[in-house]
């Protein structure tokens, strides 16, 4: 647990097929969490990267297999698009079923601050047809 971070809601665990140029890799497990935080966005990003590193994350191949990948999707209604290291809302969340399905489970009515659409509306409109299925086994 990182200091200053409280998890309020967590989605179910979903198994998803890999998306992107590296097709020969195992399925991913995805979950969305909603929480509160005392950290500034960049400090939260650094805390998330520390967790990834502690769990053995290696950044060897872009969009390739990885132990863990933690993405910061939203920070309230903040729009931050001029920082090369951190863009909020996440720039591709509206294109990805593996993000939208878990997010819709915990925040279906949250409105995207740039597009003005709820999570459910983004999910209904995405062109992504990748399989996002409830993970059947316990971990």
Percentages (nearest 5) of helix, strand, coil residues in the chain: 25, 15, 60
Q: What is the mean pLDDT of the chain?
A: 87
Catalytically annotated residues: 57, 66, 69, 71
122-to-66, 112, 133 alpha-carbon distances in Å: 27, 9, 18
pLDDT(29) > 90 = no
Q: How confident is the model at residue 22 (pLDDT cuts 50, 70, 90)?
A: low
- Identify the structural domains of the chain with CATH numbers, from first to last: 5-130 (3.30.70.560)
């Amino acid at each position: 647990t990182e200091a200053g971070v409280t998890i309020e809601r967590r989605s179910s665990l979903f198994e998803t097929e890999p998306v992107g140029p590296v097709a020969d890799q195992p399925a991913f497990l995805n979950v969305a969490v909603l929480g509160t935080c005392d950290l500034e966005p960049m400090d939260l990003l650094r805390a998330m990267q520390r967790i990834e590193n502690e769990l053995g994350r290696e950044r060897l191949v872009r969009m390739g297999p990885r132990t863990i990948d933690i993405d910061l999707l939203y920070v309230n209604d903040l729009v931050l698009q001029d920082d090369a290291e951190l863009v909020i809302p996440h720039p591709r969340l509206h294109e990805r079923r593996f993000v939208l399905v878990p997010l819709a489970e915990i925040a279906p009515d949250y409105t995207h601050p740039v597009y003005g659409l709820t999570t459910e509306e983004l999910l209904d409109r995405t062109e992504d047809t990748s399989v996002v299925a409830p993970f059947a086994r316990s971990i």
